[in-house]
Structure 1
């Protein structure tokens, strides 16, 4: 009797499965989220971006609208051709949904047309060059980060009005990123009565000896402060070189945020930080401000739980910009996904997410602020419709002697 009953229940269970396809449905295939960044020369910023992404995804059990997610690292090493190759690999991946970019602007600038032509949904939590997000539809790059179209204004305004400097000289890397900053900083300097903003061009991999020559040249040109637009490795070189100059030739540095992108403070050391008069642009939120909201406290606790070996205190989230931008941008992505019905067909779902990002209907609470319609369809090829942050979200920061980022809370 028992055997018969057992066999009967098994047969009934099989019949239920046969007549209930949902019960037999295979688990949803994971979406692939690519992190195409510099995992070699700019590893700290790439790692911080991934922490921010994973922390936001963990709030949803590592799913997007119920679909599981797998993060795929791609390393372009700051090289435009490697970046293009990674985009082609993305297109060949049948589960690839979107791409997060990293620190470097030149790869995105060089391959922007390819990204837009091939509808590669790209979320940018760092690279700052203004033209990256400025395209007429279809525009597939969305940024939540510093925007060079206004970042240079913040730096120059602070240098000339808050610090009271009279003669600025710009040291900038000789790339499209550096040239764009020179153009925008010059416009702002002109507004304050500077007829021109002198510039000295620098190259990647500059030696300390060459950096000292450039810094002495800036001083001989009458600079009472130096504007600095270089990448993390070169910022370490220039900072160390400035600290080693004769005291009468040292000048305050008003920097873009390359100084905060890598292991700058650890590599230059406490003695250099004590000597330098260094300020740099940042976005406003900091885990170190001592007045965290309950939401920020929960985010910090989650990050410390997820990455216990790497994040033991708020000070271990370095560079903080990568984390907070990626976290906020991922929360916006998740809100967009909640607004549509994802099908599992990645090409269709990219289109759905793109539309939802440009027409977000609900506010999204982030670390930096609460976002209300952060993106919209481009009105022109110069508009900031794909910029989630704006000039009032930027300020200047310093390092304390331990290398922690100190956000200035000036209005």
Structure 2
């Protein structure tokens, strides 16, 4: 009886301590695998490939991935965060394409000390906390900087005369209105209008929007939205046969856009969009070897030419994975899980490097957050991004690899 009571007490202590002796550690992948599968899978492949380099083992603990589908639904994403908090082996959440779920959950994430790392979501407020606690990190595009790439391309390089901001009505769209308008005003450009659209809009609504742009005399439009709505809107714009150039956020690259919108329509609209400055055909020996290994390991995801759809997710996922590995090495597996998560957040701000990634070398990519240091949890900057387009084979080609 005494031995039985002792065993029960040990089990209870182990449960209360957050399974400190766990032999595995988990990363939750929270993304839209229903309507934007390409981006979710690209992030997953990038993450897995990074951990392949250490055999998916950190300090004797096996790193496991919990793959979840929030279906672009903020409530489902919230449930995944709640599930994460009850998991005694879960150390961090890796986000997906959409910003709105994390904008909605931002306070909840920080209040509960959930390490949330973002390899795609771009809304500027995500990594800027209004409270002392901030456990959200991004290795991705930051919309406070996206405008500094897209707007100058449109109004200075390409000499657009009348620009319409075509924005999905959401926190992401509203964030972009602020940054895009601010950049245009900085450049002294005043010939712009702002138009919002509701998600999942009908073709009739898209045709009405296209007519509005035509009536306004727009010769250029900056689009911020996801691929499904882009396919509808761009088809409507093509029907009007108006001379319009489209500069897009990278949301169009996360789903099936390139198969839904013919090359002819994309060319009619002179479509370009922002991307990390990657090159699958890099001349760097280490990067080329890494890409060859990944393409061989995940051959079902790469085409015969070594190309992976939604490549931004892959490149960011891989590089962010390397940083997670470094941070996990600083976490004491004997501590309770809440302490481990706090240690992980602190370790992310103390990574020194250099760590050689696919996009760049990282030295001190993050630092402790403070309101007067708003980029503390941002690993990338303006110089890491280029404008890009789809080529005739539906591959994304960046300015680094193509002169347009």
User: What TM-score do you get using the length of structure 2 for normalisation?
Assistant: 0.90
1:99 alignment partner, SS class: strand
Task: State the 1:258 CA deviation.
Answer: 1.1
Can you list the C-alpha shifts for 1:266-306, whole angstroms capped at 9, x where unaligned?
A: 2212332343311111111121xx33312221221222222
From 199, 206, 219, the counterpart of 1:204: 199
C-alpha distance in 2 between matches for 1:344 and 1:294: 40
Distance 1:382 1:40 in 2: 36
User: Within 2, Cα distance between the matches of 1:344 and 1:321?
Assistant: 35
The equivalent of 1:359 in structure 2 is: 350
Residue 322 (1) aligns with residue 313 (2): yes
Mapping for residues 284-295 of structure 1, pairs under 5 Å? 284-287=277-280, 290-295=281-286
Shift of 1:261: 1.4
Query: Are positions 1:90 and 2:81 aligned together?
Result: no
- C-alpha displacement of 1:381: 6.9
- Over the aligned positions, Cα root-mean-square deviation in angstroms equals 1.8
Q: Distance in 2 between matches of 1:313 and 1:142?
A: 34
C-alpha distance in structure 2 between counterparts of 1:192 and 1:72, whole Å: 45
The change in CA–CA distance for 1:405 and 1:312 in structure 2 (over 3 A counts) is closer
Pair 1:169 & 2:164 matched: yes
Q: Following TM superposition, by how much is the alpha carbon of 1:341 offset from its aligned partner in structure 2, in angstroms?
A: 4.2
Is there any run of 5+ residues in structure 2 with no aligned partner, and where?
A: 1-20
Contact map agreement 2:102 2:126 (CA 8 A) in 1? yes
Deviations 1:213-263 (A, max 9, x none): 2122112112110110111211111222222222xx130101111111112
Aligned residues of 2:22 and 2:89 also touching (Cα < 8 A): no
Question: In structure 1, what is the Cα distance between the partners aligned to 2:247 and 2:208?
Answer: 19
Matched residues in 1 for 2:326 and 2:285: separation? 20
Structure 2 match to 1:243: 238
What are the residue-to-residue correspondences of 1:290-305 with 2, within 5 Å? 290-305=281-296
Which among 337, 340, 362 is matched to residue 371 of structure 1? 362
Cα distance 1:195–1:269, how it changes in 2: closer, same or farther (>3 A)?
A: closer
Change (3 A) 1:186 1:107: same
Equivalent residue for 2:247, pick from 254, 270, 273 = 254
Q: Determine whether 1:56 maps to 2:50.
A: yes
Identify the residue that residue 31 of structure 2 maps to in structure 1. Answer: 37
**In terms of Rg, which structure is larger?**
1
TM-score, length basis structure 1: 0.88
For 2:18, the equivalent position in structure 1 comes to none
Counterpart residue number, 1:80? 74
1:117-196 alignment runs, 5 A limit: 117-135=111-129, 136-195=131-190
Structure 1 gap segments, 5+ residues each: 1-26
Counting matched residue pairs gives 380
- The answer (yes or no) to whether the contact 2:231–2:261 under 8 Å persists in 1 is yes
Distance 2:286 2:373 in 1: 35
Specify the alignment match of 2:395 in structure 1: 404
2:216 pairs with 213, 218, 221, which one? 221
Q: Aligned to 1:116, which of 105, 110, 114? A: 110
2:8 aligns with: none
Structure 1 partner of 2:268:
275
8 Å CA contact retained: 1:108, 1:132: yes
2:114 partner SS: coil
Contact 1:342/1:352 (<8 A) preserved = no
SS in 2 for 1:395: strand
